[in-house]
Amino acid sequence: MLRLTWVQPEDLIGHELRQAALDGREPSAIAARWRAAGGGDAPARAGASPGPVSRHLRLLAEDLLDELAELPSALAEDEPTDLDRIRARCPRWPARSEPAFSTPLRPRLEAAWLGRAVGCLLGKPVEKLPLDGIRSLARATGNWPLAAYFTARGVPADLAARHPWNRRSAATSLAENIDGMPEDDDLNYPLLNLLLLQRYGRSFTTADVARVWLDELPAGRAFTAERVAYRNLLCGLEPPLTARHRNPFREWIGALIRADVHGWTNPGDPAAAAEQAHRDAVLTHTANGVYAAMFVSAVIATAATGSHDVHACLRTGLTVVPPGSRLARAVRHAVRLAETHDDFDDVADALHAAHSPAHHWVHAVPNTALIAAALTHAGGDFTGSICRVVSGGWDTDSNGATAGSVAALLAGSPAALPDRWTAPLKNRLSTSVADFDGTGFDALAHLTHREATRP
């Protein structure tokens, strides 16, 4: 029996009920109807429940998803998705500017591609594991505080049974198995955005993003909000409705993991980077899901010049996010925690206490906060940043990728990244995005530099 993940109505309804409570709607009456009919919660960590429900319950789920979408939100004014309204709520929106580089851009871009891959690879085997599982597995092999790729060597059998490695990733991402950079959506999307810029330039539209996806992205390699938006495109819906229609994942992390290229190709111009990221993000996301992508793109655009430390980069990132939004408040809180605690475990524990009860582990709000906390606590150091963010749990590979990209840009060149991290990648990337499989990170830096310097 095929249970396609992230699209079954009986699973979407549970996620939508939680999302409604987060974004200022009152879903209790609809939740009661769902429970009374025999409906259950959304799967805690997987993308689909084990088996189908009755036709009646599935039809009810579809009707309730539409009813939930019509509920008014108390946060709608403070958390808009439209770009003009976002800008109007950002009193410190950055002025457009020409970049001022302290070092050449191309080596920084190669470092950024490598850093993104390394951070992703570090987090892959422990994706979906709880925080105590990550800590226990690393401690069992003498790798805590985290300082190297995870290994299964030396892990007691009972511990491995309680906290099994990510099934899809262990074969390619544990230290003893790494042979080049394996495929991951956290690298696929930067490749797709590189294609987007090559075909349409920096004035691309959201419809152009959709065209590239339909041409180049296998449907089975899209997940959560991206999979729902892909389905909506195939059903004839157009952006931005693709982000809203029966899409309870619209504030999850998917848009954030697509943001790097927008920052890399607008070095020194965080406003332009954020505007590009917005046009990309609204295909699949709304409100805080969009803000997360804008925040990261602005941080990266600032870091790409080599003229600012990580703290200045993070402050600039917040200038493109409505200050009253949930994402801005979460990032500010995370930075304060990182500034006032010596032990990052204490920071991670505080973030989990604040966010885990209400948020899914892939939601953009807690994950963006964790990225900001890790970069702050490590002072932008590459190893410190990726190890802290992965050790903090939640969406470990995506967070590692983003923190790695930022910290590697700040490091300035591939040579500045420790060889123990980059050598196992063998300058080779596997991907399902056509024509890029087996490409080297040096070649990707060349292509990205060409888009960044194109008039």
Which pLDDT tens digit goes with each residue over 239-252?
A: 999 999 999 999 99
- Residue 263 within a domain: yes
What is the C-alpha to C-alpha distance for residues 17 and 31, in angstroms, rounded to an integer?
7
Average pLDDT, the chain: 96
Task: Assign residue 279 the CATH number of its domain.
Answer: 1.10.4080.10
Binding residues for Mg(2+): 395, 397-398
Inter-CA distances, 100 with 106, 300, 445, Å:
14, 14, 19
Q: Could you write out the DSSP letters of every residue in 103-163? A: S-HHHHHHHHHHHHHHHHHHHGGGTT--HHHHHHHHHHTT--S--S----TT--HHHHHHS
What pLDDT score does 98 carry?
Answer: 75
Q: Token pair of 430, please? A: 């596997």
Q: Is 429 in a helix, a strand, or coil?
A: strand
Inter-CA distances, 290 with 222, 286, 299, Å:
17, 5, 14
What pLDDT score does 343 carry?
Answer: 98
Tell me the pLDDT band of 170, cut-offs 50, 70 and 90: very high
- Residue pLDDT, tens place only, 139-163: 999 999 999 999 999 999 999 999 9
Inter-CA distances, 304 with 43, 200, 268, 310, 365, Å:
39, 23, 7, 11, 24
- Residue 269 within a domain: yes
Question: Is residue 228 domain-shared with residue 294, that is, in the same domain?
Answer: yes
- Residue 238 within a domain: yes
Question: Is residue 46 domain-shared with residue 101, that is, in the same domain?
Answer: no
Question: Is residue 341 domain-shared with residue 220, that is, in the same domain?
Answer: yes
Question: Is residue 193 domain-shared with residue 52, that is, in the same domain?
Answer: no
What pLDDT score does 97 carry?
Answer: 76
Question: Is residue 92 domain-shared with residue 232, that is, in the same domain?
Answer: yes
Question: Is residue 115 domain-shared with residue 13, that is, in the same domain?
Answer: no
- Residue pLDDT, tens place only, 200-235: 999 999 999 999 999 999 999 999 999 999 999 999
Long-range contacts of 54-62 (CB under 8 A, 24+ apart): 57/10, 58/8, 58/9, 58/10, 60/33, 60/34, 61/9, 61/10, 61/12, 61/13, 61/34, 62/9, 62/246
pLDDT value at 296 more than 80: yes
Question: Is residue 344 domain-shared with residue 411, that is, in the same domain?
Answer: yes
What pLDDT score does 46 carry?
Answer: 85
- Which residue, of 49, 70, 91, is where some domain finishes? 70
- Residue pLDDT, tens place only, 11-45: 999 999 999 999 999 999 999 999 999 999 999 88
Q: Token pair of 147, please? A: 């300082």
Tell me the pLDDT band of 100, cut-offs 50, 70 and 90: low
- Residue 135 within a domain: no
Tell me the pLDDT band of 103, cut-offs 50, 70 and 90: confident
- Which residue, of 27, 44, 70, is where some domain finishes? 70
Question: Is residue 343 domain-shared with residue 199, that is, in the same domain?
Answer: yes
- Residue 274 within a domain: yes
Question: Is residue 308 domain-shared with residue 445, that is, in the same domain?
Answer: yes
pLDDT value at 57 more than 80: yes
Question: Is residue 227 domain-shared with residue 282, that is, in the same domain?
Answer: yes
- Domain total of the chain: 2
- Residue 315 within a domain: yes
Question: Is residue 115 domain-shared with residue 252, that is, in the same domain?
Answer: yes
Domain that holds residue 235: 83-122+182-452
Question: Is residue 206 domain-shared with residue 260, that is, in the same domain?
Answer: yes
- Residue 169 within a domain: no
Tell me the pLDDT band of 96, cut-offs 50, 70 and 90: confident
pLDDT value at 1 more than 60: no
Percent of the chain with pLDDT over 90: 95
Instruction: Give the residue from 38, 85, 43, 86 showing the smallest Cα distance to 58.
Output: 38
Binding residues: 395, 397-398
- Residue 351 within a domain: yes
